[in-house]
Amino acid sequence: MFMGEGVEWGLHCCLALAWLEEQAPVATAQLAEIFELPPAYLKKRLQPLVRAGILASTPGARGGYRLARTPERITLMDVVSAIEGSAEAFRCTEIRQRGAGAETPAREFERPCGIATAMRRAELAWRRELAAQTLADLIAASPAGAPRRVQRFHQRLGT
């Protein structure tokens, strides 16, 4: 399974917004500066989070992003699904019914094969684990200095 860098970027930006605890929106350029990311690409990565109701976006010169929900109400799975989509990672195409299995009676294929079952079970466990962890959990597990570093850096940017 491969997740794009947008998931990492989105989660870190959500953490930064939570640490900044600001009511005013934080500009894309400022979020990009905190992590040395390209602003235009970061903006594209954050837009799905707005559509999913994880972030709120304010347009204009004084616009930017803020959390749309409390950290306790944002799961890691929310962020992953918003950015990567909710399609299953493994797609069974039933190749067992081709080639050597082409003339096999249909009743032998009534149940999913062991591979499809094992892969689905693993993916469900992965999804459950991400759904069980919130942004608040990440905040609680963060090193004590991380929020202060982001806050100081944000202040130096002139906000």
Tokens of 26: 């934080």
Query: What CATH number has the domain spanning 5-156?
Result: 1.10.10.10
Tokens of 24: 């005013």
Tokens of 37: 């990311």
**What are the pLDDT tens digits along the chain (159 aa)?**
678 899 999 999 999 999 987 678 999 999 999 999 999 999 999 999 999 999 999 998 889 999 999 999 999 999 999 999 988 888 889 988 999 989 999 898 999 899 999 999 999 999 999 999 999 999 999 988 888 888 888 888 765
What are the sequence ranges of the domains in the chain? 5-156
CB atoms within 10 A of CB 101: 12
